[in-house]
Amino acid sequence: MATLEMLIAHHRGSPIIPIEKAAEYLMYKPDTLKQKIDKGAIRIPYFSLENESQKAQKYIYTIDLANLIDLQATAAREKFKSLWEEAELL
C-alpha cells in the first residue's frame, strides 16, 4: 500500500489533515512545524478553510504530506545505499 493510501485510510478518507496531526508524523510541535514551513525549512503548504480568520484551523493536504514522507524516505535510502557501497569498496 502506498504512503498516500495509508494516510488517507488512517484519517478515514479525508483528503486533508489538521496541521497538528501532520506535526505528529514529522515529530514536531504544531507551532514549530508552522515556523519551519514559513521559513522554508520544510517545503509543504498549509492552509485554512476560512480565509479571514487567523485563528482558524490549519490543514495540510494529505497528498502533500505523503509526497514529503516519500521524498525523505527516498533520500534516506539513497544515502544508506551510498554509504554501504563505499564501505564495500574498502
Taking the C-alpha atoms of residue 82 and residue 87, their distance in angstroms, rounded to an integer, is 9
- CB crowding 40-77: b at 16 or more within 10 Å, else e: eebebebeeeeeeeeeeebbbbbebbbebbeeeeeeee
pLDDT at 77: 94
pLDDT at 90: 58
Cell triple for residue 52? Answer: 479571514
**Tens digit of pLDDT per residue, the chain (90 long)?**
699 999 999 999 999 999 999 999 899 999 999 999 999 999 999 999 988 888 899 999 999 999 999 999 999 999 998 888 876 665
pLDDT at 28: 95
